[in-house]
Structure 1
């Protein structure tokens, strides 16, 4: 795909959604961090349902740590992998208190040192909480970038590297959100909704559907 076509795709996505953001519900960098940590292999909807009950009771490192693993599990047991996630959240809260004055660090290495936090989670937090021009690549973005040929790659790391290279600076902060929403609602996994896609004429996917 040539660069002019990429810019036109991003321009259309921006015109359609000028101020995109995550669908996770949060009111602080800490809540965002915990929600993203909980969202691994789970839907944003399921995470929001759980945190809607959790955050009014505990939404700081101290209050969640005070719950302990077992009580935290009661709040998040509807989310996949809740046992390991509860352990990681408690460990993360302890590290934030002991090493970061209970604040979410605006630092990639410090974020990735937290239990259960990998590069993708760190990218989301840096982008959404702090406005960094990072692009987190999840399954939706990986699919969209390969299917459209916008930024093809065999691994999420390759796709991220290509996106950082080809996405102009003016689009970088919001690119993650546009692509993930496009993959979640239009360029879906089993049968993409090409007929209602606003970038269908620019997409290089060969097996387009009429839907």
Structure 2
């Protein structure tokens, strides 16, 4: 895919959605960190239902520490892997209080040192909370990048690096959101909705569907 096509694709997405946002509900960097940590192998809808009950009670590291592991589990038990997530979140909150003055750090090294926080989670927080150039590649973005030809790669890190290099600079800050929303609602895993796709004529996928 050439640069002109990429520019056209992201230009269309920007026209349709000028200010794309994550579908996770949050009102602070800490709430976002919690939501993203809980979202592994879970839907945003499911996470939002849980945090809608958790955040009014505890939305700071100190407040979640006060709940304890068992108290926290009560609020997140509807989410997959809630046992390990509760353990990691409590450990993360303790580190934030003891080492970061209860603030979410705005650098990758410190974020990835937090229990349960991997590269993808760190990238989401850096990009969404702190508006830094970072590309969080999940299954949707990996699929869209490869299927469309925007930034094909054999693994998530390769796709991440290619996206950062190939996406035109003016679109980079919000590219993560446009890609994930496109993968979630249009370029679906089993049956991409090609007839409803706003970039169908620019996409280089060879097995486009004709179903309406």
Q: TM-score, normalised by structure 1?
A: 0.99
Number of the residue aligned with 1:34: 34
CA RMSD of aligned residues (A): 0.5
Q: Deviations over 1:46-89 (max 9, x none)?
A: 00000000000000000000000001001001000000000000
Q: How do 1:66-85 residues align onto structure 2 when only pairs under 5 Å count?
A: 66-85=66-85
* Partner Cα separation in structure 2 for residue 169 and residue 34 of structure 1: 29
Measured after TM superposition, the shift of residue 210 of structure 1 is 1.3
Partner of 2:55: 55
| 1:153 counterpart residue number | 153
* Residue matched to 2:18: 18
**Alpha-carbon separation, structure 2, partners of 1:39 and 1:10:** 26
Q: Which runs of 5+ in 1 are unaligned?
A: none
2:136 match: 136
Q: Which runs of 5 or more residues in structure 2 are unaligned?
A: none
| Counterpart Cα distance in 2 of 1:139 and 1:92 | 25
Alignment of 1:100-111 (within 5 A): 100-111=100-111
Check the 8 A contact 2:35/2:51 in 1, yes or no. yes
- Deviation for aligned residue 1:167: 1.1
Equivalences, count: 211
Q: Please say if residues 26 and 35 of structure 2, whose CA atoms lie closer than 8 Å, have aligned partners that are also in contact.
A: yes
Aligned equivalents of 1:143, 1:52: Cα separation in 2? 30
Counterpart for residue 64 of structure 2: 64
Is the 2:30–2:103 contact (alpha carbons within 8 Å) kept by the matching residues of 1? Answer: yes
Q: Give me the whole-angstrom Cα distance separating, in 1, the residues matched to 2:109 and 2:130.
A: 15
**Distance between the aligned counterparts of 1:29 and 1:50, measured in 2?**
17
Q: Distance in 1 between matches of 2:170 and 2:66?
A: 42
Could you give the per-residue CA deviations for residues 17-44 of structure 1, whole angstroms, max 9, x where no partner exists? 0000100000000000000000001000
Residue 114 (1) aligns with residue 114 (2): yes
Runs of 4+, deviation exceeding 4 Å = none
Q: Is the 8 A contact 2:6 2:168 kept in 1?
A: no
Structure 2: how far apart are the matches of 1:9 and 1:182? 11
TM-score, length of structure 2 as denominator length: 0.99
Encode CA deviations 1:110-167: one digit per residue, 9 max, x unaligned.
Answer: 0000000011000000000010111110000000000001100010000001001001
Measured in 1, the distance between the counterparts of 2:133 and 2:177 equals 12
Q: SS where residue 133 of structure 1 aligns? A: coil
Q: Distance in 1 between matches of 2:167 and 2:30?
A: 28
